Structure 1
Amino acid sequence: MNDVATLTPTEARERFRAGLRVPTSGWCAGWTQANLLAVPRDLAYDFLLFAQRNPAPCPILDVTEPGEVSSQRFAGDLRTDLPAYRIYEHGELVAEVDDVTGHWRDDMVAFLIGCSFTFEDALLEAGVPVRHLEQGGNVPMYRTSIACRPAGSLSGPMVVSMRPMPASQVATAVRVTSRYPAVHGAPVHIGSPADLGITDLDTPDFGDPVEVRPGEVPVFWACGVTPQAAVMQSRPALAIGHAPGHMAITDIRESEHLVP
């Protein structure tokens, strides 16, 4: 396979539509990746309010009109052009598939939510390691004991992603990622996983475990899988999300999110 970092969003989406199923960290350098949550119209306001009240884990990049399957910021088809999706019914995960055309309703409203994969190139350029890329896996993600602010019928815990690094590079990671508030921004926690209610870094709730080497510190960012944790807790009749780590690659340049 060609170097996936050099692909355009259109080229990447064509591969996913054809059935390629892989995590997207490292794909399409310079282009923003996004989490997906699609819900029926009667739940859309509750989720919009949930995201507004919890901007760190749920920074909204785009919202479709009911029934639309593409937008100016995602020119592909949201039903087919991600590598993998999760279908929830009454909060239960009922399927993980690579095409949700048969599950999509005419009243579905899709939300694209910022993803920390977007700032990983900036971390690498600053000399900060990104361990899951080194190991060729998915980023580890964990449910925490931090409750999000509820909204309407939705409530749930914050989910975080974790990247270990030498203590000497933590300040650099904070400085780099704080310039990307639209894709989670600065870390929400540095150090002890127990402070977040995480009992074992080797057993993430989503994604793959990564090696934490002697002298390294785990650094945690708010994660866009948080909406799916809210779906699991709140149990709406139907919700469609991306499979964690298998993102929507948008037509938004990463540079659009960079602030001074």
Structure 2
Amino acid sequence: MNASIVTGQQARQASRNNKTHSASTSGLAPGYLQANLIILPSRYANDFRNLCARNPVPCPLIAESANKGCDNAVVSHIDNLRGDEILGEWCDLRRDAPHYMVYKDSKLEKSHCDDVVAEWTDDHVAFLIGCSYSFETALATAGLPPRQLLLGRNVPMYRTKLRLCPSGVFQGGTYVVSMRPYKRRDVDKVRDITRRFGATHGEPLDWGWEAVERLGIKDIDRPEWGDAPLDGDGKKAFGEMRGQIKSRDEDGEFKEDEDEGDEEIPVFWGCGVTPQEAVMRAGLEGVVMAHAPGHMLVLDARDEDLAR
């Protein structure tokens, strides 16, 4: 995390100049809204807009290109925010995310490239989807910072079997979820804090070890995107701690705890990688662009603007 980047505009400028130097944008410009980005040929825009409307938890739509082919202004889908309040002047949707993915005819063509200037055309429409990084500042302020934020790692993200409500060409998609471990006793507090941020996935959609099975996650220690989760010491695989409630004694050795509230469990949120997965399943023709997972577009709106 770059501590000198304190505003959305500074974050975008650093991204444009390839100077973010981070595994992800988690913790970058604290308090500023972050967004997932997906850019589609215009003929798919209406179906995608409806996909977001039908699946607001994993695909909360914040804004979209002001018009077809526009790469420097957006119109808002948030009632209390104008487009220029979400993303101000001098923005460039082709260059202001740290890294991009490029798909051609639904096959990955470029991974983690610095910009999509060459791929952008007058027929493209960009969509900004809410990101759960946007409530991490509120969690940290409440004394519940996500572990990956403390370790400088990317949040783990998993493919699930939870099906999306389809829309037009977008059929057969499933949720992608992000995971942050918390003590069982803290889950209700975490839910209360994040519930206000409905435009950035809101409260967790599931939690606990039983949720791993309910969501169809194959291996908690092997996420499809992001970094593998670590235990409380930042060392062991998180899954090895399943069902164990441990603290350290006076000699620094692990001991069993009697309070089940101390058990760390996985907590899952909707994730903005979901629409990228939906695009891949849809077999779209032409060039589609998106942010690289974990490398978000940082906006000018504040997290609390959405919480209101």
Residue 92 (structure 1) shift: 1.5
Counterpart residue type for residue 107 of structure 2: E
Of the structure 1 ranges 26-35 and 230-239, higher mean CA displacement relative to structure 2 is found in 230-239
Percent of aligned positions with the same letter in both sequences?
43
Unaligned runs of 5+ in 2: 74-83, 233-240, 242-262
After superposing the two structures, state which structure 1 stretch, 221-230 or 88-97, moved more: 88-97
- 1:90 Cα deviation from its structure 2 partner: 2.2
Which residue of the other structure, out of 54, 67, 89, is the alignment partner of 2:104? 89
Task: Check the 8 A contact 2:136/2:145 in 1, yes or no.
Answer: no
2: distance between equivalents of 1:82 and 1:108? 17
What's the C-alpha RMSD, in Å, of the aligned pairs?
1.4
SS in 2 for 1:79: coil
Matched, 1:197 2:241: no
1:139 aligned residue (149, 155, 159): 155
Task: Answer yes or no: is the 8 Å Cα contact 1:87–1:239 preserved in 2.
Answer: yes
Alignment map for 1:168-179 (pairs within 5 Å) = 168-179=185-196
> 2: CA distance between counterparts of 1:27 and 1:45?
32
For residues 1-260 of structure 1, the aligned pairs below 5 Å read: 3-4=3-4, 6-20=5-19, 22=22, 23-64=24-65, 65-71=67-73, 72=84, 73-75=86-88, 76-96=91-111, 97-155=113-171, 156-191=173-208, 192=210, 193-213=212-232, 214=241, 215-237=263-285, 238-259=287-308
Q: Deviations over 1:217-240 (max 9, x none)?
A: 100000011000001111212211
Question: Secondary structure of the equivalent of 1:163?
Answer: strand
TM normalised by structure 2 equals 0.81
Distance in structure 1 (CA, Å) of the matches to 2:195 and 2:13? 32
SS of the equivalent of 1:13 reads helix
- Alignment partners' CA distance in 1, 2:59 and 2:49: 9
Contact 1:89–1:235, Cα closer than 8 Å, also in 2: no
**Residue 85 of structure 1: how far off its partner (Å):** 0.4
CA displacement at 1:2 relative to structure 2: 5.2
Structure 1 residues 15-24 or 42-51, which shifts more?
15-24
Distance 2:119 2:191 in 1: 40
C-alpha contact 2:201 2:271 (8 A) present in aligned 1? yes
Q: Is the 8 A contact 2:2 2:28 kept in 1?
A: no
**In structure 2, C-alpha distance between the alignment counterparts of 1:185 and 1:55, rounded to whole Å:** 10
Deviation at 1:144, TM superposition (A): 0.4
Q: Is the 8 A contact 2:100 2:290 kept in 1?
A: yes
- 1:29 deviates by 1.2
Q: Using structure 1 for the length normalisation, give the TM-score.
A: 0.95
Q: How far, CA to CA, are the matches of 1:230 and 1:201 in structure 2?
A: 22
Tell me by how many angstroms 1:251 deviates. 1.0
Tell me which moved more, 66-75 or 217-226. 66-75
Q: Which amino acid aligns with 1:204?
A: P
Change (3 A) 1:14 1:232: same
Over 3 Å counting, the alpha-carbon distance change for 1:42 and 1:2 in structure 2 is closer
How many angstroms does 1:125 deviate by? 1.4
Instruction: Give, as a single letter, the amino acid of the residue that structure 1 aligns with 2:17.
Output: A
Distance (whole Å) between structure 2 residues aligned to residue 133 and residue 258 of structure 1: 21
CA deviation digits over 1:165-215, x for unaligned, max 9?
A: 111110110000001101100111111211101011111111101114542
1:66-97 deviations in Å (ceiling 9; x for gaps): 11112222231010111000011222111021
